[in-house]
Amino acid sequence: MRVAALDFGKVRIGLAVNDELGLMAHPRAALDARDRGALYALLAEFAREEGIELFLVGVPLDRDGAVGPAARKAEAFAEQVQAATGCPVEFFDERLTTTEAHRRLREGGHDARSARSKVDSAAACLMLQAWLDRHQGIER
């Protein structure tokens, strides 16, 4: 099954997809989130071209696990993605994925400026890989 993960943000949406075997997550270029109409059209086209069967949307729950304002915005975004693409959407607790993405990018030699354009898709990739691992029964 082809799955795409989306890391929701006001300016950029991080994007990652799994390989054909369903084993590995791969980051794609982040999407511009400022024009929501264009974004939903782009996601619909992407889903058709890539054969996406499921979108995984990161929901930034509060530290205590509560659904706060940011999580509600991500949930509303997910509803629009589902309506635009016709694909089911599954939520993923994405607490700390952006922090982990920043850490890994720094370890990979990226400075703050170069990491800025990559961090959203790196976070989406971390989410998707965790989801894939869970569905394969792999613990990391």
Burial of 110 (0-12, 13-18, 19+ CB in 10 A): middle
Domain ranges of the chain: 2-136
Return the structure tokens found at 128: 């998707």
Q: Which CATH class is domain 2-136?
A: alpha beta
Q: What share of the chain has pLDDT > 90, as a percent?
A: 57
For the cut 70, the answer to whether the pLDDT of residue 119 exceeds it is: yes
For the cut 60, the answer to whether the pLDDT of residue 140 exceeds it is: no
pTM comes to 0.87
